Each structure stands twice: as structure tokens, then as C-alpha cells.
Structure 1
Amino acid sequence: MSREKIEANREKILNGPIVPTLLVLAYPIIINQLVHVLYNLTDTFWLGKLGRIELSAPGTAWPLVWFLMSIGSGFVVAGFAFVSQYIGAGDYEKANRYAGALYSLLLIFATGMSIFGIVLAPYFLRFMKVSETIFPYALTYTRIIFAGIPFSFTLFAFNFLLRAIGDTKTPVKINIGTIILNIILDPFFIFGWGPFPRLGVAGAAIATMLSNSVGSLIGGYLLFTGKVGIHLTLENLKPDLKFYSRIFRVGLPSSIGDSTSALGFVVLTRVIFTVGRIYGEAHGIKGYEDVAFPTYSITNRLTNFMFAFSDGISMAMGTMVGQNIGARKYERAKEIAEKAMLINFTILSIGTLLFAIFRVPIFKFFVNDPMVIAESKKVVMYFSASLPFFGIFSAVNQVFNSAGHTKKSMVLGIIRLWILRIPLSYWLGVAMKDTAGMWLGMGLSNVIGALIGLAWFLKGSWLRGVIEEHH
């Protein structure tokens, strides 16, 4: 993206009509988010053909992978806040410098996380109370995904850096390429089509890792050749403790928030296996945790599909809010955020209605298992109505992060997951001796979390930039 193009984008973001600008920025991100969801849906679809046990492997792996990646994601969020606000302030040299510092920091960090994850995966899975039947599949899948984390991280950084300058289209093109590659490779590696060996669950993980690696290498090439607005050089990639400390200071609360959220989902997996077992014992159904968890896995994939739309709106809003705060246009930043929340609530209300109407064929598409389909009825009854509220929660979180007020989003995330979701899901599930209680607890956490977030947003204490504080 040329300097002129960045300037034209900046002009629209700072002075153009809000909703049309938001939608123009959002639609490539929505496609990008859908592409990421398709990654997971592809694995779930093909592994579902092997059975509900194999289908559960990615679902147990992703909270762990997310947990370790999220420790570094706060630094990506901080890098985004600095780069977008320096672009808003018209200081392109500093924007490039922060982009380089972020990229080198992530390369070092991701390599360490990869080794750590491969070694500790079995201990994490035992902590999650993964059933003996699912455990070997989950361990294989998790270790292969961890091996590819450096590629996942640099692709992640590439997406964020381009979004910060207002280029939401280039990452989409690369991510679409990687998903198409993953869709093509999956059945070859899983079922051993043609000359390939039949690798089952391991095949799904290898296909994902290879696809991510290709995307990461293309993204790196574009950044280092300067073909995309941001130009990384060996000079601005050099480790620089002063820049690292600034990124660290702004990013640490976000890292703590994201990693405590991700750890919450590790604990939530333990809750699902535990409540599933309790319900099974109360009703004389052996191994019901192997029904409860696949139902949760599929539900997660479907809600992620719906959130692709609301997250796209939230992220585009983040770019607009970041640049408007950089230009000190605080009232406009607030108006952008409010309009984004309303759009999110509407999108997710429509999505929830469709989910409730077409529940049975949707679940059957992934795994034709009568027990999983019966359990999915509880999802619609006790959980799905809370999804539009999550759209508001997600938008508020994005506002706080884009303004650089990462402590606020950290606190909000901890409240929703640790104070509301995990205790409510566990207590209600155990008290009712029913998985319905668990789903109800998850739903209540979305509604109450959104209301707390909205009240905090309306106070307006986030209407202050970070770049003035870090000169």
C-alpha cells in the first residue's frame, strides 16, 4: 500500500462517513475471519468422518495453543496501538520502527513457546481431564500444531500490522490461499488419498501447519520487500530494548488478559469433561463426557463462524478508533464505537435465529451421532440467546485495546471468564447434575459481561491516546 493510499485511507477514517467507511474496512476482515473459521471447520468436518472421538482432538488442542499464543498476543495488540496511532499522527518512520521491533520480538518469543508447548502438552491435557479415549489423538494433534507456532505467530503479526495502516485486503488474499491449501491437503493426509500415507488426526494437524507456514513466508516476503506500506529492514528488526520496553509496558496487561482468558478455556474444557461425566453417571450413560465435549467443539466452531462477522466489524472499528484517537478526535471515536456495537448486536441476533432453526442439519453435517444431536438441543435452549450480547462485549474490548487502554480489556476479560463463566458453568452443571446447567452458565457470562463492559465504555475513561504518554 503506497503512502498516498495510506493518506487517502487516513482521510476517510478521520473525516469520512462512519458506517460506509467502517463497512469498507470491515468486509475484507470478515472474509479473513471466515477464512480462519474455515480452517477449523475443515478439520472438524473431515475428522467427523472418522468419528466423534477423532473430531474432539482439535477442540482439546486449541485452548492450549491459544493459551501459549495469547501470552504473546498482547505485544501484537500493543504494536497495533502504536503503529495505528503513529499513522494517525502522520509519523511513518516511527510506525515502521515499531513494526520491526514487534516482528523480531515475536520471532524470539514464538520459538520458545513452541518448544515449551511440545514438552508440556501431555501434562496440560491431563489437567484438562481429557478422557482416556480422546487423549492419544489430542496429544498427537497438539504437538504438531505447537511445532508450527513460529509460523502462526509471524502470520498473525503480518495481519495486525497491515490492519494498523488500514490495509485490510492483502492479509485476506494470503489467508484465502492458505485455507484453500489446507482444504486440499486435509483429506489427502487424513485418509491417505493417492500416494499419501493415512495419518488420521496427525494428518489434519500437518495440513494446518504446512498451510500456515506458506502464508507466513509470503507475508514475510511482502514486509521485507516493502511491497505493503510497511517496510521491514534488518536495521529496524534489530532487538531494541527501548522499543521492547514500550511495547511490553502497553502490551503486558493485554497479554495477561488474553492468557488468563485462554487459560480459562483450558479450565472450561476440564469443566465440560467433568460435568459430562457427572451427568452420565446420574443417568447411567457411560462415557457421556465423550458426547458433551464434541457437542461443545461443534458449537464453538459454529459460534466462531457467526463471530467472524461481528469480529470483522469490531476490528475495523479498532483501526478507526486508534487513528481517531491518534488525531485527538475523541467524540468521533466514541460515535464509531457505538455504531459498531449496534451493527454487531443485529448481525448476531439474526445468526442466533438461524442457528436455532437449522440446529439438527447443521450438527448432522459434522457428525451424524444421535447423542450429540440430542445434546445440541440444550445449546439452543440455554446458551444461544446470549450470543448477540457477546457482540457488544467484543466491541467494547476492541475499543479499549485500540485506544491502548489494555488494562481495561484485561479486567473485562477476567470478569467474564473467571468470575462469571467458569464458576457459573461448574456450579450450575454440578448442582443440576445436568449439562444444561453448564450451557446456562456460559450464556449468563456473556450477558452479564456485556452489560458491565457497556457501562464502563459509557463512562468514557478510555478517550485518551497512548502515544502522547510514550514520547
Structure 2
Amino acid sequence: MFLVQCMSDIFEEPPDSRSLGKYRNRIVNGPIIRTLVWLGVPPLINQLTVVAYNVANAYWLSLYGETTVAVPRQTWPVMMLFQALVMALTAASLSIVSQYIGGKSYKEASLSASRFFTLSFCCGAILCVTLLTLRGLIFAVVLSTPPEIFEDVMKYSGVISFDIFLNYISLIFTTFLQGIGDTRRPAIVNILAVSLNALLDPFLVLGLGPFPRLGVVGAAITDVMGKMMSVGALTYMLKKYYPELKVFFTKDIDFKWIALVMRIGLPVLALGATNGFAFLFQLWIINQFGVTVATAYAIGFLIMDIVDAALWGLSGATAIMVGQNIGAENYGRAKEVAYKSALLLFTLVALGACLIYPIRSSLVDIFADDPDIIAETDRFLQILVPTLPFFGLLMVGMSTGRGSGHTIFPTIIGAFRLWGIRIGLGYMLAFNFGMGSLGAWLAISLSNIIGGILSILWIKYGNWTEKVVERRQA
């Protein structure tokens, strides 16, 4: 009965469908678990759609060439590094906009949204050009990409660079809608965009029918086309459904606002940048063992993304509820939201891990025929899948920091997890102790466990319920 009620709540439209604060009462007063599900299921469905597309994309690429499936994963840490800034901007935006809405200060919410949009547009354009210019140096020198896939990586990254610019706009618009409490419409938009990608992928990758056989370039083109669709649709939805939130280019960016954004966003930027460099270095470690281990790494993370899907929906709901409840001065409820989110996510991810673990070998067989790749990927999954529930706790800690605006301690946890354990310990185990790829896999697993435990301790004992914005009536 509870599940039926939750599902009906997801698609229920509040009476005043044009009110900027129409979701506020439910978020600050409604049942916590039910509201988490109501907010989290749309982006969860969205993430499941993305995972399904990534699986299909990997399958088409594996038909094009067995090691070609490793190409997108080679570019992933680079994309993560280049998108660290938008992660900081969206973290600050979610915290500031949601707290203004929670405090019914709608004019301030509109002004802040316009400032965030202006910054995101300009930064995205600059970083797009930067990646186009430097990608040869990055993949040849920094990452030591295996020569078997280097040319494909260069072609793929040349097209996917434009995805950075579009993603800066798409993510900031999505964050505005989520800050309001509307998680359904961004999810619907992304599902449609991903569906377009999935529809076009086999035609452009494999050259079906009249289309050219483009391989990884075709996969990158469909990604960019889908992101263009997302930007257009999100712009339309903001204007149609939330006209009170006026988003436009602005020069009205004062030092007080910049200081607030830096206070919230700099730790997230630092974490994003250090994460990006850490994942670059982690990939460099993996690449030292050749294309077989690099391919196993790509396939393994693809399969783990299936288990992780719950994180990207429900952890975002945590940030929204924490932000609006702190804005409404419901500090005890904000703590309760974080506790219940941690319990819910740990349980769901543990269930997903239990389902995936017994069938991991069958899943690997879908993407690879080479027995060495299959064996290495299976070993990767044996070690990492059981630790994913702890990664869920880490994500709840990050989301609590984003929603509350207190991002420094989660940043420290994230940096230690990556640099101290994944990189420092991983390098020692892989090279100094001669464990090879097994050492790298063990370090990644330990980083999930330790990061999760530290995050839940911070949620329980940390002082993160203090507001970061002033409450003023519009």
C-alpha cells in the first residue's frame, strides 16, 4: 500500500501548478521517506535510463571492436575534471536557491539563478575550447592511453568536447528545477534525450542502413545531439511552468554573492578537481597494465553503474530536502532526513549488489569474448561489488553537504578517499608490493568502505545544520 501511495504521489501535480513554492509544504512538512521517494524516483528512473543507454552503447561498441568499449571510459576522468566547476556551481546553486525558496524569498532566488546561469554559460564555452586544444597532450602524455585505442580516443574526445559546454547549461537548469522541488520534469527531459541517443546509436556506430559506419565518433555525436535537446527542453520548461523564476544573462554579480558562492562551491570545486586528477592518475595506473586491464576496468564500472543507479536519484532528493528544511529552520527534521536517507540508500544498494554479484560473469560475457578480459573483469567485480553500499553512505554525506551548504568536511573525506587510499595505497599495492591490477582493485574497494564510514559519522556528529543564507521575505 505504501509503495502504491508513493507511486501515485510521484505523478501527482499540486493544485497551484505555477507556484514557485508549490512543493515547499510537502518537502518541509510531509512524511520523510515518502517525500524522498517522491523526489527521488523520477531522477532514479532517469538514471536507470542512462545506465541502460550506456550498456547498449557499450554493446554496440563491442560489436564494432572488442577493445573499443574502453574508449569512453578513457575520456571519463578528463570529462570529470573539466566539469568540476559546474559541480561546484550546481552545489552552490542548489543550496542557495532551495534555501531562498524554503524561506519564501523568491526575488532573491531569481537573481541568484540568473547569476549562476551566466557563469555556467561562460565557463562551459571556455572549457570546451580548452579540451579541444589540449586533448592530444592529455591522452598521449598524461594518461598514456594504450596505443591500440589512442586514435579512437582522440576522435571521440574531439566530438565529446562540445558536450561539456552543453552540459554546463543543462546541469544548471536541472539544478534550478530540483531546487524548486521539481525532479520529474528534468527526469522526463533526460529520458527523452537518452532515448534519442539509444535510437540513433546503432545506426551511427555500426553504419546500419544509409548511415556511415562511424564507430566511437557516432557514439559521441548521439551524445551531443541528446544534450542539445535537453538544453532546449529545460529552457522551455523553466519559462512555461515557473515564470516567477526569471533566468537571464546578467552583469549584476556582487562581491557578497561571490563570497557566498565561493564559501559553498570552493570545497566542491576542490573536491571535483582533486577527484578529476585522482581519477586521471588512477586511470594512468590501470593503463600501465595494458589494454586488457583497461578494458576490464571499463566493463567493470559499466556493470557497477547498474547497482549505483539508486544513488543518483535518491541522494539528490536528500540535498533538496536538507536545503529546504534548513531554509525553513526545521533543523531537527533536516537531520532526520539525512539519517533516513542513509538507511534507505544503504539498503537499496545492498539489494542491488546481491542481485548483480551472482550473475556478474554472465554480464561480462555480453561485452567481451577474450578470456583474459573476462577473467580480469570478473576479479574486479568480485572485489568491488560488495563495497558499493558504503559508497551509498558516502553519496548521502556529499548530498547532505550540498543541501546544507557545509561542504568542507565531505570534501576532505572525498580527497582522502581518493588520494590517500585509491592513489597512495593503490600505487603501493600495485607496484611496490607487486600485486598488479589486484592491488588497484583492492584500494578502490577500501576507499568505498572507509569513505562511507567517515561520512555517516559526520552526518551524526557534524555541525552542518546552520543556514548559509539570510532569510528575507520577497
* Range into which the TM-score falls when normalised by the shorter chain: over 0.9
1:257 to 271, 276, 279: 271
d(CA) in 2 for partners of 1:469 and 1:427?
A: 50
1:101 to 96, 111, 115: 115
Residues 14-42 of structure 1: CA deviation (Å, up to 9, x unaligned):
11111111111110010122233334323
Q: 1:469 to 1:170 in 2, by over 3 A?
A: closer
1:245 positional shift? 4.7
- The equivalent residue for 1:340 is 341
1:146 positional shift? 0.5
| Conserved? CA contact 1:67–1:259, under 8 Å | yes
d(CA) in 1 for partners of 2:364 and 2:302?
A: 11
Q: Which amino acid aligns with 2:456?
A: L
Residues 356-415 of structure 1: CA deviation (Å, up to 9, x unaligned):
100111111222332221112212332222111101011011101110012222212101
| Conserved? CA contact 1:89–1:327, under 8 Å | yes
Q: 3-state SS of the aligned residue for 1:405?
A: coil
d(CA) in 2 for partners of 1:52 and 1:228?
A: 47
Alignment of 1:17-416 (within 5 A): 17-126=31-140, 127-223=142-238, 225-228=239-242, 231-234=245-248, 237-242=249-254, 243-274=257-288, 276=289, 289-416=290-417
- The equivalent residue for 1:284 is none
d(CA) in 2 for partners of 1:101 and 1:241?
A: 6
1:448 positional shift? 1.1
Q: Which amino acid aligns with 2:438?
A: A
- The equivalent residue for 1:279 is none
Q: Which amino acid aligns with 2:428?
A: W
1:466 to 458, 465, 468: 468
| Conserved? CA contact 2:136–2:154, under 8 Å | yes
| Conserved? CA contact 2:46–2:190, under 8 Å | yes
d(CA) in 1 for partners of 2:27 and 2:307?
A: 26
Q: Which amino acid aligns with 1:466?
A: V
d(CA) in 1 for partners of 2:161 and 2:116?
A: 21
Q: 3-state SS of the aligned residue for 1:253?
A: helix
- The equivalent residue for 2:418 is 417
Q: 1:387 to 1:456 in 2, by over 3 A?
A: same
Q: Which amino acid aligns with 2:72?
A: P
Q: With the length of structure 1 as denominator, give the TM-score of the two structures.
A: 0.92
d(CA) in 2 for partners of 1:347 and 1:432?
A: 36
Q: Which runs of 5+ in 2 are unaligned?
A: 1-12
1:138 positional shift? 0.8
| Conserved? CA contact 1:44–1:55, under 8 Å | yes
* Identical residues among aligned pairs (%): 31
Residues 182-227 of structure 1: CA deviation (Å, up to 9, x unaligned):
011111111222222111111111111111111112212333x343
d(CA) in 1 for partners of 2:197 and 2:393?
A: 32
1:340 positional shift? 0.7
| Conserved? CA contact 1:65–1:142, under 8 Å | no
| Conserved? CA contact 1:352–1:384, under 8 Å | yes
| Conserved? CA contact 1:87–1:165, under 8 Å | yes
Q: 1:340 to 1:139 in 2, by over 3 A?
A: same
1:460 positional shift? 2.7
| Conserved? CA contact 1:226–1:232, under 8 Å | no
1:470 positional shift? 11
1:434 positional shift? 3.0
Q: With the length of structure 2 as denominator, give the TM-score of the two structures.
A: 0.92
d(CA) in 2 for partners of 1:35 and 1:101?
A: 31
1:448 to 447, 450, 456: 450
Q: Which runs of 5+ in 1 are unaligned?
A: 277-288
Q: 1:308 to 1:99 in 2, by over 3 A?
A: same
Q: Which amino acid aligns with 2:164?
A: I
1:238 positional shift? 1.0
1:272 positional shift? 0.8
